[in-house]
Structure formats: C-alpha cells, structure tokens
Structure 1
Amino acid sequence: MESILTINNLTKKFGQLTAVNNLSFTIKKGNVYGILGPNGSGKSTTLGIVLNVVNKTSGNFHWFDGNTTTHNALKKVGAIIERPNFYPYMSGYENLKLVCKIKGVNYSKIDEKLEIVGLLKRKHSKFKTFSLGMKQRLAIASALLNDPEILILDEPTNGLDPQGIHQIREIIKQIAAQGTTILLASHLLDEVEKVCSHVVVLRNGVKLYAGSVDEMISSHGFFELKCNNQSELITLLENHNAFGNIKVEGDLVTAFLTEPIKSDTFNKLLFEKGIILTHLVQRKESLEEQFLKLTDNLNKQNQ
C-alpha cells in the first residue's frame, strides 16, 4: 500500500521539555489514522512539524515517495490545526472564494465542498451567524477545496455539542469513504474508536502503540460474573488455562480471557462443578481499557 507520510525518529524539544520523543510511524493511503493521547502528549507538535510550522529538533519525515519537497507535498495536503479563522462579515461562500484564490482553485469547487459538509443552503449566510459546529464544518470545506490526498485535523470536535460532534464524525467517515486519507489528533478515545481504522497512541511524546484499531482491541475480552459461591468460582478461574487477570469488586468477578471460550461452554462447565451463576456477561475490551493498560505498563516501567 502506498505511503502518504513516513516519520522516522522524530524528536522535538522546547528547552528542557521533550514534547516528541524519538517518534516513528507511517501513514498508508486510504486509511483513517488517529493520533491518540491526553493533552500535552505531543499530538499537535507532531502535526505542526510535518506541516512545516514547527521546527524539529532531530529525526526526519518525508511525504509520499520521499522525492517530493515538503513545500510541493503540502499542496496535496488539507489541514486544520487551529480554530477556523474566517472574515466574520463575509458569507461562507465569499470566505471560500478567498481560499480558492490563495490555493489557485476554481470557484466551481465551492458548492461541491459545501454540499459535503452540509452547508450549501447556508452558503450566503455571514460567517458570524454560524454556530461553532458550522464554523468547523466550513473549515473542513476549506481544507477540501484543493482535493487533498490527505486531510489533517487537530481535535476536530473540540468544544462542540453532541450534535456537532456527531455531524463532524459523519463528515469524516464520508470523506474517508471517497478514498481520502485522514490523520486526526484527538484526546477522545470514543472518537478514535468510532472513526479511525488505525491509531498511534502517544503519552508524554512517547509512542506506546501504532497499528490498527481492530488489532489493539482484539483481545479475547472478559467475563463479568456473579454466583452463589464466589470463593469456589475464583479458585476455578485461577486454575483454568483460559483465564489470566481476575478482578473482584464486591460480588462482581471480572475474569479476563487469555484464549477464546464461549459463554455457554463456560456456563456449562461451572454448572457441572456445582457453581450456579446469577450473572454472566461476556464483553470485548474497549479501546479505553486497552489504552489504560498501555499507560499502566509505561507507569510500571518508569517506576
């Protein structure tokens, strides 16, 4: 699969602070990538470096096949890394006409992109009358005017209400379905899990994981259990090869699987051992649980 962006051992220091620490990953064409991490993890700094607005300290990156200068490569990139900045007393359409002039794009693209973001009917409304979500959608339309090969978004749903968040996420999915590669930075696990095919997890500038979202959450999951004899249940779980970590909170036992086992098979086994379950739920680990595991492992390494 064709590479869009390759980052090798990238480091950025601000005085004594290391914002990005020896970071490497590759963005492949046609996927939706999320850079996931809490505030201060190095997400925005990484985007700033590859967009030539922040100078790197060491390491390197290249766009596409590596034979294109960053200046020329960025002509094929659409990006929103700051709050939308348009003229308040001009309409959405007039603002996009200015962007077309700057990018050397034909005005005929404007209606097409406004349609994608659901603003075609409001194209003659002044920007100052737009809601925060509409302003963000106009910014996405602006970033799409040059038909970029990759769209870069920094915290695209930050500050939006639930409806605005849903609209932006649906637009991102729609753009990705048309074949545009997307790279978005977010501190929201839910956002990455719902929108992205791949994820790079950062914490304090350090990469904890890079790969597909499906692979990250492809553990065998866990059982939530309640029964008539908790001590016998725990003993059985501790001596069963299919179970690893076991967590007890009150009368609820959470047993994490190390290999696949069906709930009906497991229930039958317990019944034969005289353990009657009053509660049995089988769940898959969420991205949040996997993220917490990764950060917990890093904490243990640093202790």
Structure 2
Amino acid sequence: METILTIRKLNKRFNKYVHAVKDVSFEIHRGNVYGILGPNGSGKSTTLGIVLNVVNKTSGDFEWFGGKVATHDALKKVGAIIERPNFYPYMTAKENLELVCKIKGTSFEKVDEKLDLVGLLERKNDKFRTYSLGMKQRLAIASALLNDPEILILDEPTNGLDPQGIRQIRDIIKVIASQGTTILLASHLLDEVEKVCSHVVVLRKGEMLYQGTVHNMLDQNSFFELQASDLSQLKSVLSNHAEIDRLEEQDGKLLVYPKKEMAASELNAYLFQNNIVLEHLVKRKNSLEEQFLELTNNN
C-alpha cells in the first residue's frame, strides 16, 4: 500500500516549558481515513501545521509520497483546512471558488462538481455572508478539493457546528473517502473518529499513546456479560480460570474481562464443563471512549 505521509520522531518545542510534540512517528497510507485524536493541547494541530510547512519543527523528520518529491511540490497534491473558513463575504460561493481556481491554476469546470459534492450547488449564487457556519465549512471543503488532492487534511472539521451540521460534514467525509481520497483529520471528538475513521493516532500532551486501526483499538479488552441462576457459583468458577483478568458485578450480571482475546464458545464450554448453564451470554467491546479513557488514565 502506497505511503502518502511518513512522520519520524517529530518534536516541537515552543520554549523550554512547552514541548508540544514529543517523538511522534506514524505513517499515512493511501485510501484510508486517519484520525488524530486527543484533547485540546495534545499536539494535533501543531503536528498538522508542521507537515503543511506552516509550523517549523524542532527536530525529527517527515516526507510526502515516499520522499520522491520536495515538500513544496508535494503540497500541491494536498488539500487542507486548518483554520476557520475565510472567503469574501460579498462574493457568491461560485465567485469565491472561481477565485480559488485562479490562484491554484485549476479549471472553473471543477466548481459546480465540488459544490454539488458538498450539497451547495443550489446555493452557489448566494453570497458567502448569508451562509450558516455549517455551510461555510462545507464551502471550505469544496475549496480544498478543487485541485483533486490525493489527501485531504481537516483540523477539527465539525468544531462549533450544531448536530445537523456535524452529521452533514461527517457524511461528506465518508463520500470523499469512498471516492478514493485519503483523509487525515484532527479531532477531540471520540464519536467523530469512531464513525468516520479507519485508523487512529491517539495523542496526549504531545505524546503518542496508540496508533493502528480503530477496529483493533475497539477489539482490545473485549469482555463478556454473563448471567446464571447462581451468580456466586459462577463467580467462584471463573475465579479459577487462568485466563480471566478480573470480574465485576453490575445490575445482577457478571462482567468478565479476559487477559487476552477469547471466543464466547470457549468460555461457554468451560462453564458447562463446570456444571454451570448460562442464562445470558453477550460478548461486548469497549467503546472508543472507554478505550481512550483507559489509555489516557494509564499514562
């Protein structure tokens, strides 16, 4: 799979007290949706600023497209929104995008296509000042897509939007990704990353705590919810299982946390052999929120 962006041991210090990015390393591969997840102040925006050449790194390295092209030329293949949408208020959406086309040296033919993609084609002749915040954000995405970039970078794309605006942006991201564009977005919203991203990098205070697929992150520490006629007997039998990490009682059920991945059939067979017939057995996964809290609380 082609590597679009490689980051190696990236560091950024703003002064001797603020170490915003600490030895961060990860890769972005073509065709995926990556989320950089972390609370405010975790180094997400600084990392994006460095790879977009708007923030100077302190040390470390990064390269676009396997280092085959210089950063300046590589960035021509990148679409990015890292600040609030900024267009001329008394110009229409169409006029604003045509101006961007002139700056980027792109054909005007792309304007209607991208406006349609973000659901603004019918409002293309309305002035930018009449747009809601969500519409302004969608116009910014259309603008970033005018040169058909190979990767789209978004910094907190749903920040400040109402629920409807958030859903519209997420739906647009999914459509863009389905068309083959690689996406890298920074967010502090767990729900956002869980719903639209295939891969995630978790940052806290500039340090990387996790990188990998969202699926694998959710698969870590899956657990079982069990119920039997004699809960104390169930608890006693499971306490002797070498692969069980811990047990918790909750609302008349027993939550069972294995030390490693375990099939429901394996657990059920073990209990049956020990003369316990379950009334209830559900294998559950931690939500991304639970996983994120566990990661950040343990570091």
TM-score by length of 2: 0.92
1:231 aligns with 2:232: yes
Per the alignment, residue 213 of structure 2 pairs with 212
Determine if contact 2:3/2:65 at 8 Å carries over to the other structure. yes
Determine if contact 2:81/2:155 at 8 Å carries over to the other structure. yes
- How far apart, in 2, do the equivalents of 1:80 and 1:3 lie? 21
Per the alignment, residue 198 of structure 1 pairs with 199
CA RMSD of aligned residues (A): 2.1
Per the alignment, residue 49 of structure 1 pairs with 50
- How far apart, in 2, do the equivalents of 1:230 and 1:246 lie? 12
1:25 aligns with 2:26: yes
Residues 83-138 of structure 1: per-residue CA shift (max 9 Å, x gap) = 11111111111111111111111111100100110110110011111111111100
Gaps of 5+ in 1: 299-303
**1:246-257 alignment to 2 at 5 Å?**
246-249=247-250, 251-257=252-258
Residues 280-302 of structure 1: per-residue CA shift (max 9 Å, x gap) = 4331222222222222331xxxx
1:2 aligns with 2:24: no
- How far apart, in 1, do the equivalents of 2:85 and 2:222 lie? 41
Residues 130 and 118 of structure 1: is their aligned pair in 2 closer, same or farther, counting only changes over 3 Å?
A: same
Per the alignment, residue 286 of structure 1 pairs with 287
Determine if contact 2:226/2:278 at 8 Å carries over to the other structure. no
Per the alignment, residue 181 of structure 1 pairs with 182
Shift of 1:225: 3.5
Per the alignment, residue 84 of structure 2 pairs with 83
- How far apart, in 1, do the equivalents of 2:215 and 2:242 lie? 24
Identity among equivalent positions (%) equals 65
Determine if contact 1:242/1:259 at 8 Å carries over to the other structure. no
Shift of 1:60: 1.0
Per the alignment, residue 268 of structure 2 pairs with 266
Secondary structure at the aligned position of 1:115 is classed as: helix
- How far apart, in 2, do the equivalents of 1:284 and 1:77 lie? 36
Point out the more displaced range, 62-71 or 167-176: 62-71
How many residues of Structure 1 are paired with residues of Structure 2 in the alignment?
A: 297
Determine if contact 1:88/1:128 at 8 Å carries over to the other structure. yes
Match for 2:12: what amino acid? K
Shift of 1:192: 1.0
- How far apart, in 2, do the equivalents of 1:132 and 1:226 lie? 49
Shift of 1:251: 3.8
TM-score by length of 1: 0.91
Match for 2:264: what amino acid? K
